Structure 1
Amino acid sequence: MVQGLHLNKETIMAICISGLLVIILSLCAILVWILWRRKHRDYGSKDIQSSDAASKGHFFTLSYSRLSSLKMLSKRELVATIEYSKLEAATNNFSEDITLGEGSASRVYKACLDMGVLAAVKKLDGSKQEQERMFVNELNFLGRIKHRNIVSLLGCCIHGESSFLVYEYLQNGSLGELLHGTSHGLASVLTWHMRMKIAIDVARGLEYLHETCKPPVILQDLKSSNILLDADYNAKISGFGFAIHGGKQNKSSAQLSDAPGIASLENVIDEKITEKSDVYAFGIILLELLTGRKPFLESTPLQCQSIVAWAMPNLTHRSKLPDILDARIQDTMDPKHLCQVAAVAVLCVQPEPSYRPLISDVLHSLTPLVPIELGGTLSIAPTADKNCSEERNMDS
């Protein structure tokens, strides 16, 4: 009897201990679950608050005195955000008097930030979907790209239904404006060598996008109005709103620029878009630099509206080349160099993409035509410089 009672006690003790362990383990599991839920809820709350703040333009304030040295990309690959009130003050409430330019879906303002730092603020217009696509594209590409011939993105802002992008300010505006716009008279500064310098600057930027970036970046909207010039006429590529990654899309899935006269054949028909589409657009810019003509003139006869159709009959004939040259650069270059540039332009604007050169080949062809002091490899003899100077004095 005593032995039976002893066994019963042991059994009861074992059951109690087991039950206690189960209770403890259950409490621990519940505690871990509660902590996990609380942490998850806190993160979710922060994300919601951050999203709400972004939609209302309540971004953290940047010290504008640091904008001149601001890095485009943080360790998390995020572009700096700027308070709307700061942009409003920097642009005098987005005054039309300081408008730098406008496109079909945007307007750009000159901004004077704290400490006198100048910037260009682009306000995106158009439909909400178009705004979002262009805004995200600019952030995704320019937020990760750093090159001397590509414009720098300093920051961004979202305020209500409006989106804003803040870029470095480039004093001499766009190449398109300089060649064709209200500042047309200032184009005299664009000598033959300066035009070729701008061409290789653009080619270097494209080479970086096509051959260094992985995957390659295809702009789809390369045009003279998107080539910006700094105080020393160094050219920088802007306009990444239509950019795509190479090999990812064709026309059926990509949004294309509607700028007339710059689109290659594959941009018009439903074919795969490659880096060669940008090479075609580069060829158009090269023709603009040669001729001073806009890519598309609606007022001219149909067969001459496109700069390619208008220029092509003369480009392949050395004796006819001077007939289409911009009058401001007539007789200012080596005829051999002129023929070489014309040949490069002809190759770039070939209808068949496979016939167009790589942008690295274009750069290799043009660099020897640009003086060393302008970033090329051409060495100009002092006597030649003296003769040119004497000729200019005689003309004056």
Structure 2
Amino acid sequence: MKCCTRYIYIVLVLFFVKMIKSSHGQAFYDATSCRQDGNAPGTRYTCINTTLTKNSCETFLIYRANNQFATISAISTLFGLTPDTLLEINHIDSPLETLFVDREVIIPVSCSCSDGFFQSRLNYTVNGNATYTDIGCGFFEGLVKKITLVEENLNQEVIKVGNVLNIPLKCDCPNNNDYKYLVTYPLVSGDSIRKVSTKFGISRDNILAINNISLDTTIYPETTILVPLQSKPVIDFNIPNLQPPTPGFLSTSPVERNVKPEKLRKVYIVVAVIGFGLVLAILVVTGLYLKALNRCRRDLFVIPSTLRSSFTSFSTPPLSSPRSRPSPATRSSPNSCLSPDLLASIKYSLYNFTIEEIKSITKDFSKDCKVSENTYKGLLDDVQVLIKEIKFSEIRHVIDLHSKINHVNIVKLVGVCYNESSWSYIVLQCPSNGSLRDCLANSLSLTWHRRTQIAFDVATGLHYLHYCIVPPYMQTGLDSANIFVTSKWKAKLVVLSRNPNNGTIGSSTFEYENFDALKMLEKEDIFEFGMVLLEILSGKVKTDGKLLRESIGFLGGEGGEGGCFENLRTFMDPCLKEGYSLAEALCLGVLAKACVESDPLHRPSMEDILKVLARMV
């Protein structure tokens, strides 16, 4: 009996010792991505509420200044603190002093055990378009993860401006007297355990022990580690750039490594079988393609010479009565007047419209259907199209150009109606939202995201014309009137060709083999693209171009009342209100100013423009 009593006593003692030790909960390093969806274990530091343990403490977090929160005033507002609370501990004189980007700021917080986790709670009011990922991994720099925000705000699946979110920031309290503070430190690219230990003046082994990691553990950006300290944190900003030990910071995602060898063998077998099948399928398809290509070449060369000569010039086909028509996507021309070379290169079939069909589409060229001096719009089988008047001699050049173009950001050619004795017509797609100029004139629905997407689409289309067409085509006369917007707010360019002998039509395109002339026309395109950017930013579509260029002089440091940001806010389209990123607007404004430089050599290339815009969409 005594033995049993002694055994029970020992078990109880061990249980209470374990409870006291586990009250600190999990302090293991969590390598899961801040942006990960679904269930991810270990996203917070766990705790157990008992009367024998420490369930709350005063501790600190580390936050880095950024473009959006660049002053102590802005950072203190984000964390619900007074500026004076942060000024003294961070040795900063003024709450309005602009801090350099990534300058680390010490944030004092109250940490307590709640719902099984150590956390510091605060409320955040949404004041712009944002997602849980933007808030957790962007605004709060990984101090709270996306899945934690979703779990804590289940009643707000869709975030709207004005919503108040519960933000449980990650923190931890020490469970013994070895340390007074456990500082939550968010990791960024380039960090290492060695660098953090040097920055806070503590042993690297202490950091490894408190986070339950070893020297060969890989650490990732937008995760956190705990920094154990005996006194309030002091950061050394003068340490040299330290190379992280191997393995250090890897720009990869955590990978599960505990896959059984049997499963791996099965995976290898399946992959090998699929790979063999794909190779076999590619060989079969390639053989069929080459066979069909040889047949087409034979058919092309056996065209009788008398028939071939009849195709070398355009002639007016006889007008026929209106007939039932297939949809624009599947039209074919019953009477082709194209040369064999053109037939061989064209990517799709064009429909040959009669003048009666053109009149029917445009309601006999009524004013209601007129878009501009020589352009009409109308419905063709319930699909909206554009009808443009051109000279008969120019149709060949339009078809020749569009036979080489296949791009999502360029309006497609549907068909032609040609008449040697009068005006001829081409029929183009007409995206449902109309021209960019019309959209800017009614810009309530043209959000900032849509504007940056449109700018990127236009740049992509121009880059395609400059670098992917042989020989390259330069789009001159580009403006917001010949850029069209789809129902999904994607931009498409209207591209027409120029007859070198007979002038231009609408928005003209030039083809040059002279390199210097080609580069000068490319810089002219870039200038016109910059003017489109200025219209997108300001919403001013009927302003004189020179005045519009002069109105952004503040971006070049020219004098004027107010600072750069204040002048930029004044320049921006008032319909945007506060629904845009000031940093992105500044970036787009600087890009536009570079594009409209007086010296063409100072303007960026289309490749440089795409690199800038690709970061915004």
What interval of TM-score do these two structures reach, taking the shorter chain for normalisation? 0.5 to 0.7
User: Do 1:173 and 1:229's aligned partners in 2 also have CA atoms closer than 8 Å?
Assistant: yes
For 1:55-66, what aligned pairs fall within 5 Å after superposition?
64-66=325-327
User: Do 1:228 and 1:235's aligned partners in 2 also have CA atoms closer than 8 Å?
Assistant: yes
Counterpart CA distance in 2 for 1:362 and 1:133 is: 36
Counterpart CA distance in 2 for 1:292 and 1:92 is: 32
Asked if 1:75 is matched to 2:75, the reply is: no
Q: Tell me what 2:384 maps to.
A: 118
- Displacement of 1:313: 3.3
Structure 1 143/315 Cα, relative in aligned 2: closer, same or farther at 3 Å? farther
User: Do 1:171 and 1:230's aligned partners in 2 also have CA atoms closer than 8 Å?
Assistant: yes
User: 1:163-214 deviations in whole A, cap 9, x for unaligned?
Assistant: 10001121111011222xxxx3x31111111111100010110111111112
**Which protein is bigger by CA-based radius of gyration?**
2
Q: Percent identity?
A: 24
Residue identity matched to 1:162: W
State the TM-score, normalizing by the size of structure 1: 0.64
5+ residue gaps, structure 2, are 1-303, 334-341, 497-504, 558-563
Q: Tell me what 1:107 maps to.
A: 375
Q: Tell me what 1:254 maps to.
A: none
User: Do 1:65 and 1:117's aligned partners in 2 also have CA atoms closer than 8 Å?
Assistant: no
RMSD value, Cα: 3.1
Structure with the bigger percentage of helix: 1
5+ residue gaps, structure 1, are 1-38, 125-130, 252-270, 298-303, 370-375, 377-396
Asked if 1:313 is matched to 2:573, the reply is: no
Counterpart CA distance in 2 for 1:178 and 1:353 is: 30
Q: The residue matched to 1:281 in structure 2 has which SS?
A: helix
Counterpart CA distance in 2 for 1:284 and 1:327 is: 18
State the TM-score, normalizing by the size of structure 2: 0.42
Residue identity matched to 1:150: I
Structure 1 366/61 Cα, relative in aligned 2: closer, same or farther at 3 Å? same
Counterpart CA distance in 2 for 1:305 and 1:152 is: 33
Counterpart CA distance in 1 for 2:600 and 2:546 is: 22
- Displacement of 1:239: 4.1
User: Do 1:151 and 1:168's aligned partners in 2 also have CA atoms closer than 8 Å?
Assistant: yes
Q: Tell me what 2:450 maps to.
A: 194
Q: The residue matched to 1:65 in structure 2 has which SS?
A: coil
User: Do 2:474 and 2:510's aligned partners in 1 also have CA atoms closer than 8 Å?
Assistant: yes
- Displacement of 1:42: 6.5
User: 1:103-125 deviations in whole A, cap 9, x for unaligned?
Assistant: 4xx12221324xx343222223x
Q: Tell me what 1:144 maps to.
A: 404
Counterpart CA distance in 1 for 2:569 and 2:311 is: 63
- Displacement of 1:305: 4.7
User: Do 1:62 and 1:82's aligned partners in 2 also have CA atoms closer than 8 Å?
Assistant: no
Q: Tell me what 1:153 maps to.
A: 413
Counterpart CA distance in 2 for 1:247 and 1:295 is: 35
User: Do 2:377 and 2:386's aligned partners in 1 also have CA atoms closer than 8 Å?
Assistant: yes
User: 1:230-255 deviations in whole A, cap 9, x for unaligned?
Assistant: 1112100014242012444999xxxx
User: 1:145-167 deviations in whole A, cap 9, x for unaligned?
Assistant: 11000000011111331110001
Counterpart CA distance in 2 for 1:248 and 1:62 is: 47
Q: The residue matched to 1:108 in structure 2 has which SS?
A: strand
Structure 1 194/313 Cα, relative in aligned 2: closer, same or farther at 3 Å? same
Q: The residue matched to 2:551 in structure 1 has which SS?
A: helix
Structure 1 207/95 Cα, relative in aligned 2: closer, same or farther at 3 Å? same
Q: The residue matched to 1:274 in structure 2 has which SS?
A: helix
Q: Tell me what 2:484 maps to.
A: 228
Residue identity matched to 1:244: F
Q: Which structure carries more relative contact order (alpha carbon 8 Å, separation 6+)?
A: 1
User: Do 2:395 and 2:418's aligned partners in 1 also have CA atoms closer than 8 Å?
Assistant: no
Q: Tell me what 1:348 maps to.
A: 595
Q: The residue matched to 2:613 in structure 1 has which SS?
A: helix
Q: Tell me what 2:613 maps to.
A: 366
Counterpart CA distance in 2 for 1:121 and 1:274 is: 27
User: 1:246-283 deviations in whole A, cap 9, x for unaligned?
Assistant: 444999xxxxxxxxxxxxxxxxxxx9732111111110
Counterpart CA distance in 2 for 1:93 and 1:250 is: 46
Q: The residue matched to 1:318 in structure 2 has which SS?
A: helix
For 1:241-280, what aligned pairs fall within 5 Å after superposition?
241=505, 242-248=508-514, 273-280=520-527
Structure 1 239/47 Cα, relative in aligned 2: closer, same or farther at 3 Å? closer
- Displacement of 1:67: 1.6
Counterpart CA distance in 2 for 1:79 and 1:273 is: 34
